[in-house]
Amino acid sequence: MYVLGIETSCDETSAAVIKDGTQLLSNIVASQDELHEPYGGVVPELASRCHIEKIESIVDLSLEKASISLEDINGIAVTSGPGLVGSLVVGLSYAKALSYAKKIPFYGVNHLEAHLHAIFLEKKIEYPFIGLLVSGGHTSLYDIRGVGNYTLLGSTVDDACGEAFDKVAKILGLGYPGGRKIDEIAKKGNAKAILFPRPRLKEDDLNFSFSGLKTAVLNYCQKLGKSLSEVERNDIAASFQETVVETLLQKSLKALEKMQYPKLVIAGGVAANSRLRAAFQHMSKEKNIELFIPSLKLCTDNAAMVGALGYHYLVAGQKAPFSLNAYATTSSSQASF
């Protein structure tokens, strides 16, 4: 059984072909980084216009790479939210058109649920487990008991951690997208050089907060009152990154302890961070926790995770109506997540 996955929730146009829910036959991702770089962030109208230009060739390429034709596809899974509505409707409308023309059922997939599902393309995992989702728009911990069976344990009360990475990169003059650039320069910095406040670590709940940390970095840079040297910039990046990772680590440990689960899955763009991956690996060995983090290409936005999750809708015999709409936030969605 073959599922075509389509993802256009933000600034990546992506299409993938998945066989039997877990075999990745193709995963084409066209990034719009260069388009948005001069603006220091994603410009929604430019993003949706770019998706329109690219979607057809990206879908064709994904089929070609998988050596399969549209006639062989059994279901089309497309991200219907959360995300930028102008971007989402491009993928959604394209999926509907293919579905109508070729009489293939289509399914609306929740982007966050898809992120947490990406790991199943690489590993076999038994439920239940704790899911830590760290992306540009979300930072949350979930109790995950099965497909569509998720309980939110805690989430950010202000900025998402990816957002904090991007904003701090902007403060440091590193440009967009910032997370990857901080990761790079932090390797040359001293993570203990500056002790930034550890957000909400004293709180007993499982919520996060990253806006104060971003302000602390801004205040630190302003107090220096001069343009930053390379060493200063590297140290700030490394110290900031260490604070974020430490916070995510402590809260994840709390969640594992609370639910008494020995398994943790990390998903989303920030899971590509090298320091995060190393720190969680170390913790997993020390605390005897089974840790699962997808490979880099499956951490950031991609259609493979959408197709993998869509397979479950296919085997359940589900089909979305053509009236299915895009949604910006999960609270306004019809999705199970």
Output the smallest distance, CB 215 to ligand KG4, in A: 18
Q: Considering only the stretches 63-71, 135-143, 308-316, 326-334, report the one whose residues sit in contact with ligand KG4 under the rule CB under 6 A.
A: 135-143
Could you say which residues in the range 276-335 bind Zn ion, by CB under 5 A? Answer: 301
Q: Considering only the stretches 86-94, 194-202, 214-222, 269-277, report the one whose residues sit in contact with ligand KG4 under the rule CB under 6 A.
A: 269-277
Given ligand KG4, Zn ion, none, residue 162, with its beta carbon under 5 to 8 Å by kind, binds ligand KG4
Q: Does 301 bind ligand KG4 (CB under 6 A)?
A: yes
Q: Could you tell me if 208 and 134 are in contact, meaning their C-beta atoms sit under 8 angstroms apart?
A: no
Backbone angles phi, psi at 75, to 5 degrees: -160, 155
- Angstrom CA distances, 221 to 168, 192, 245, 268, stand at 10, 16, 21, 29
CB nearer to Zn ion: give 29 or 237. 29
74: number of CA atoms within 13 Å, CB side?
18
Q: Does 14 bind ligand KG4 (CB under 6 A)?
A: no
Nearest-5° Cα angle at 266, 124 to 146: 50
| CA nearest neighbour of 310 among 92, 1, 5 | 5
Question: Mask 179-198, x = binds ligand KG4 (CB under 6 A)?
Answer: xx--x---------------
Q: Considering only the stretches 224-232, 253-261, 262-270, 306-314, report the one whose residues sit in contact with ligand KG4 under the rule CB under 6 A.
A: 262-270
70: number of CA atoms within 13 Å, CB side?
17
Size of the site for ligand KG4 (CB under 6 A): 19
Q: Does 268 bind ligand KG4 (CB under 6 A)?
A: yes
337/332 Cα distance (integer angstroms): 11
Output the smallest distance, CB 83 to Zn ion, in A: 8
Q: Does 131 bind ligand KG4 (CB under 6 A)?
A: no
Given ligand KG4, Zn ion, none, residue 75, with its beta carbon under 5 to 8 Å by kind, binds none
Nearest-5° Cα angle at 109, 165 to 152: 60
Could you say which residues in the range 90-149 bind Zn ion, by CB under 5 A? Answer: 135
CB neighbours of residue 224 within 10 Å? 12
Q: Does 79 bind Zn ion (CB under 5 A)?
A: no
CB nearer to ligand KG4: give 113 or 232. 113
Q: Could you tell me if 118 and 294 are in contact, meaning their C-beta atoms sit under 8 angstroms apart?
A: yes
Per-residue burial over 125-159, b if 16 or more Cβ lie within 10 Å, else e, is: eeebbbbbbbbbbbbbbbbbeebeebeebbebebb
Which residues of the shown chain bind ligand KG4 in the complex (CB under 6 A)?
10, 135-137, 162, 165-166, 177-180, 183, 268-270, 272-273, 300-301
Which residues of the shown chain bind Zn ion in the complex (CB under 5 A)?
135, 301
